[in-house]
């Protein structure tokens, strides 16, 4: 997201950071289940909608969020998001926040390492 957000429009916050979910009216369980985006007006977007909202903001292209609302796009995007979310532990990516910053998450780094990383 940082690479796409050249103008600093999006702030990312790991949900594991104490108080982060509650600060936008969410629960840690809701955040563990799916990605969330909250816009400046307080509108909340979940899952694929959150991805589209964040990309639309980062790129300054609100059309991306409007495309997501289309009847054929939304179900396809939601299905793809669901698959990626279900398999994210097997996909390449960045080190999870809690593994990098255990002090933010109430534990030792070993507690947050992926079991696949052994």
Average the pLDDT over each of 5-9, 30-34, 50-54 and give the range with the smallest value: 5-9
- Tell me the pTM: 0.78
Q: pLDDT at position 52, please?
A: 96
Q: Three-class SS of residue 22?
A: helix
CA distances from 110 to 98, 99, 114, 116, 118 (A): 10, 7, 9, 13, 10
* Cα–Cα dist 16/118, whole Å: 22
Average pLDDT, the chain: 84
* Cα–Cα dist 49/82, whole Å: 12
Q: What six digits make up the tokens of 60?
A: 């300054």
Average the pLDDT over each of 3-7, 21-25, 78-82, 102-106 and give the range with the smallest value: 102-106
Domain boundaries, the chain: 20-91
Q: pLDDT at position 55, please?
A: 95
Q: Is the pLDDT of residue 96 over 80?
A: no
């Amino acid at each position: 997201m940082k690479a796409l957000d050249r103008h600093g429009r999006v702030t990312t916050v790991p949900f594991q950071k104490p108080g982060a979910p509650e600060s936008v009216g969410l629960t840690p369980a809701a955040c563990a289940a799916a990605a969330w985006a909250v816009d400046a007006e307080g509108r909340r977007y979940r899952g694929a909608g959150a991805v589209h909202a964040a990309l639309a903001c980062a790129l300054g292209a609100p059309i991306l969020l409007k495309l997501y609302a289309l009847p054929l796009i939304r179900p396809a995007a939601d299905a793809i998001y669901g698959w990626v979310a279900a398999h994210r532990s097997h996909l390449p990516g960045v080190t999870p926040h809690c593994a990098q910053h255990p002090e933010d998450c109430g534990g030792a780094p070993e507690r947050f390492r992926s079991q696949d990383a052994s």
